[in-house]
Amino acid sequence: MKRLATLTAAAALCAATISPAPAFALSDDERAALAALLIIGVGVAAVAHGNDHNSRSNWDHERHGEPFSPSAGVTCLPKPRQCYRNGMISRRWTQRIYG
């Protein structure tokens, strides 16, 4: 949701710089410079967000272990010894994998 809000704000800012208000006119060079700065800022923000997202994992490895997928749409958790299919617990896959 934050990504959508950020992209919407960036698009609005870009549109505002490209079509200035009548009382505040920019030259073509100034508009191009502002657009370039906006693009660089969005790129830097995206890289910073991507790095933050990868370093902050909410997954509890001690409680659940490292999940694995024996088939498409199936995820198994080794420590609770349970398997899920499409987000719901699957007795069939749990029996098949853990016995």
Residues 43 and 84 in one domain: no
Residues 36 and 65 in one domain: no
DSSP 12-73: HHHHHHHS--TTS---HHHHHHHHHHHHHHHHHHHHHHHHHHHH-----HHHH---EEEETT
Give the mean model confidence (pLDDT) for residues 82-89: 94
Task: Tell me: pLDDT of 98 over 90.
Answer: yes
Residues 13 and 44 in one domain: yes
pTM over 0.85: no
Residues 10 and 26 in one domain: yes
Say what the pLDDT of residue 57 is: 67
Residues 86 and 72 in one domain: yes
Residues 85 and 74: beta-carbon distance below 8 Å:
yes
Give the mean model confidence (pLDDT) for residues 37-58: 67
Record the tokens describing residue 8, joined without a space: 């919407």
Residues 50 and 66 in one domain: no
Residues 43 and 71 in one domain: no
> What are residue 68's DSSP bridge partners?
76
Residues 8 and 49 in one domain: yes
Q: Which residue range forms the structural domain that includes residue 92?
A: 61-98
Q: How many domains does the chain have?
A: 2
Residues 43 and 66 in one domain: no
* Res. 96 pLDDT band, cuts 50 70 90: very high
